[in-house]
Amino acid sequence: MGTLRILSGMRPTGKLHLGHYTGALENWVEQQNQVTEEGARVYETCFLIADYHNLTTSLDTRDIFSHTLDMLVDWLAAGIDPEKSPLFRQSQIKEHAELFLIFSMLITSSRLERNPTLKEQVRDLNMESLTYGHLGYPVLQAADILLYKGNVVPVGEDQLPHVEITREIARRFNNLYPHPHIGDVFPEPAPKITKFSRLVGLDGKAKMSKSLGNTILLADGPEEVLKKMRNAVTDTEKIRKNDPGHPEVCTVFSYHEKFANPDQLAQIEEDCRAGSLGCVDCKRICSANISGELAPLLERRRYYEANMDLVKSILLDGEAKAEVIAGHTMQEVRAAMKLGEKRW
């Protein structure tokens, strides 16, 4: 078996936060750089800026380009290497829309209405009605993945139903339209659950989300991190410094679990339970650890911000590479479906 290909993406919502980092970016970088003992890459990685997907929940496109660039800078700052991983906008590769149209014929609307992720989103966003495009969101996602023949999809658990829809569509297409030379046009991609798929927000109530105002941004410097951390929700029963605490219900402790080293983590837990560590000091430790993790990202961010022409040329270069792969897949799709036959 050859190198596995991973297609992952994010909507261009501007500067990214720690939840994006722990839930996706960190894993992307690891997958991008993973090599076999012989030094060959384990995965080919492609990263998509899902600008069409943005339209499912917002029709306001005024800031889409600046948000795209902000996100791209965060990707690059986190260690995404454009030489290894093409970075591209969905809207600039026309084949996404073409394959989406074909796939839309291979799945029923009732199947899409049963999608639990969609039901959850409608509830969370208090949506009264759904557009046709929003209902078809997982179909567009299937087109995104299969256009590049992704065999592995890194996801949080909430995205698993979408991967299942992608697999169903791939199977259905392959059964209906075997290619005369290669047989199956599409692989059935396997989900790969990420280790830290969700990071709780500073308010402790939900996942980190800019719309909820409970985030630490990757672009935040140490002072900003500390300032935000001061408002983080802790164990509400630990009122005075010497009260024994319960780390298992504390937002800050959930960050320690990610950013403290194992010895430090054990000590914090012990001291919190014993009442020998106060929340103010504990938050200071947590902020320092987070800022330490973000320091190299901030430095690289500054470099890219000072070289925005480079960032734009990275994007155009990634789009040229993606176009070649997407164009090739669509030729196979058309040949399998006998669309555009030249003999008559």
Residue entry with tokens 């969370």: 124
Tell me whether residue 29 or residue 216 sits nearer to ligand SF4 (CB atom): 216
Distance of alpha carbon 294 from alpha carbon 219, whole angstroms: 8
The answer to whether the CB of 25 falls within 8 A of the CB of 9 is: no
The answer to whether the CB of 162 falls within 8 A of the CB of 9 is: no
Tell me whether residue 146 or residue 282 sits nearer to ligand SF4 (CB atom): 282
Interface with ligand SF4 (CB under 6 A), residue from 75, 137, 253, 259: 253
Helices 279-305, 262-274: inter-axial angle, 10-degree rounding: 150
Interface with ligand SF4 (CB under 6 A), residue from 165, 185, 216, 277: 277
Q: Is 260 in the site for ligand SF4 (CB under 6 A)?
A: no
Tell me whether residue 272 or residue 297 sits nearer to ligand SF4 (CB atom): 272
- Kindly list the distances between the CA atom of residue 227 and the CA atoms of 34, 145, 222, in Å, as whole numbers in the listed order: 36, 40, 9
Tell me whether residue 155 or residue 250 sits nearer to ligand SF4 (CB atom): 250
Q: Is 304 in the site for ligand SF4 (CB under 6 A)?
A: no
Helix (H) or strand (E) holding 154: strand 152-155
Q: Which range, of 31-39, 75-83, 87-95, 277-285, touches ligand SF4 by CB under 6 A?
A: 277-285
Q: Is 238 in the site for ligand SF4 (CB under 6 A)?
A: yes
Interface with ligand SF4 (CB under 6 A), residue from 250, 294, 314, 325: 250
CA 79, distance to chain mean position in Å, is 15
Q: Is 247 in the site for ligand SF4 (CB under 6 A)?
A: yes
Q: Is 260 helix (H, G, I), strand (E, B) or coil?
A: coil
- Kindly list the distances between the CA atom of residue 48 and the CA atoms of 71, 144, 267, 322, in Å, as whole numbers in the listed order: 11, 8, 41, 9
What is the contact surface with ligand SF4 in residues (CB under 6 A)?
Answer: 234-235, 238, 245, 247, 250, 252-253, 272, 277, 279, 282-283
